[in-house]
Structure 1
Amino acid sequence: MITHLLAVDGGGTKTALRLTPLAPLTTDPFFSLTSGPSSLTQQGSAAIATIKDAIEYCLEQCHLKAKNVSIVIGVAGAGNPKLKQQLQNALADYPYCIVTTDAHISLLGANNGKAVNTIAIGTGAVAMTLTAESDTELFGGWGFPIGDEAGGAWLGQQAIRVLINSIETLETSPLTGYLIEHFGRDRKTLLQWLKMAKAADFAQLAPIVIEYAEQGCRNSQAILDEAHRHIDNLITKCCKNNELDIAFLGSLGAYYQAHLKTHWQQRVIDAKGNALDGATLLAKQQVELINE
């Protein structure tokens, strides 16, 4: 008998898990946990281990068996069928487990499962539409470094490019001053960092880019000017064929929402929930289907 709903949100920066009773007496989670990154694209087998370990730890701490839990995992990279299947295979011991993308559960959470457009910008950047018929459309979200323009990892990557140009030309700015202090000017050291750096490492530089842009740094402003163009293009693709509301999500969502072009502003709503809310909703729907 299923007694609990387990929601997992896995991305390039962190993994969030939340367990709630199927019939909760309060709105508080029964158990929650945050661990390291689990993007299937970026972390691969390590991501699978992170997710599996988090679920096992949760059930162990709460004295639950796999058969008692409806699980929904929304994870970056699950749009790749091969990677998705690898995660599903690793979780074969859990009879009621759905694997989908982190964008999908964010979409469901944003408007309590009702039709909406979402622009989710954190480590990566992706837009999705949920129609009144419960169909979904996906735009962007191709993954770093080939896609996810304007996401945190992309912002950090552009900052490193500015650093490289500064090392070679000796041109400076507040942003390059910070980066030189952080990374130095040594080519070998920077190349070694680049060899090991993941999306989450680049994304850690995103707040620095924004901070210096607000202080007038021309390099940072140029990066963000390009980022805003990418976001406007993403919104245009997602929203041009519908009149649905737009909800911004993710750690950088509020920043981009504040700098949105005027003609989009009138369609913006505050998100009613987050990715874990969306995963919990889908987990509850799974129970309802099982009980039919």
Structure 2
Amino acid sequence: MYSEDARYLKRRVTGGDVDVHPTEKALVVQYEVEATILGEMGEPMLGERKQCHKIIRLKSLNAHTDITSLARKVVEECRLISPSKLPQVEQLLFYLQNRRKTDGKDKKEQNKPVKPRELTPFEGMEIDEEASINNIEDYVELLYEDIPEKVRGSALILQLARKPDNLEELLQNETALGALARVLREDWKQSVELATTIIYIFFCFSSFSQFHGLLTHYKIGALCMNIIDHELKRYDLWQEELQKKKAAYILAMMKCAKHNFRVV
């Protein structure tokens, strides 16, 4: 019976976009699976489509890897990637090969003696709690509380966003994305760590071209530019105040030295 039914099941796999993994040395291949049940005469009766992705990890990729040969091997071994995408695969591999490594830098930063307050903006990203996609609604509720709870909620969502497998499900949660965009727009001046965490979440989406529409919809690019512009102006103001204090200090020292010279 099962073999007879199988004759009327048609399955088609269509390859899609290829992009880089946001954190690993890997490629992410998007593809679509279409399953159609056919009638006795071959006519389609019921169909279903599902968006999927495949992660191709490139453990051997290093600074000395022959990108052209590796790209050719990837295209040959992965049937989901069309041979016409070979130039694109080469570009993506070249990007991965030259992408700045963050792990080594993080270790150096940990060994570098710094004041505790310099670590404050990043405390929200490191919490002793493991996030679960099943609890996303609880994390969203935290975004409607005070700043400390918003920092915690956004940090938990960031844990989820850093795993590409969760991005598609997060994309379907308009409440979560809308809340994140709202908090970033309204509260970024109140907490640097909150703003940094939420921007990092949207950065995870920006690593994949199919999610760029999300960033455009919530105007994340324009918002980030406003934040950067504000911080640059604040930096210039700090520099100006610092120069004034230095000038006042030098003037005071000169007056003191002149007074001491007269006394002598």
Q: TM-score, normalised by structure 1?
A: 0.29
- When Rg is computed on C-alpha atoms for both structures, the one with the higher figure is 2
Q: What is the TM-score normalised by the length of structure 2?
A: 0.31
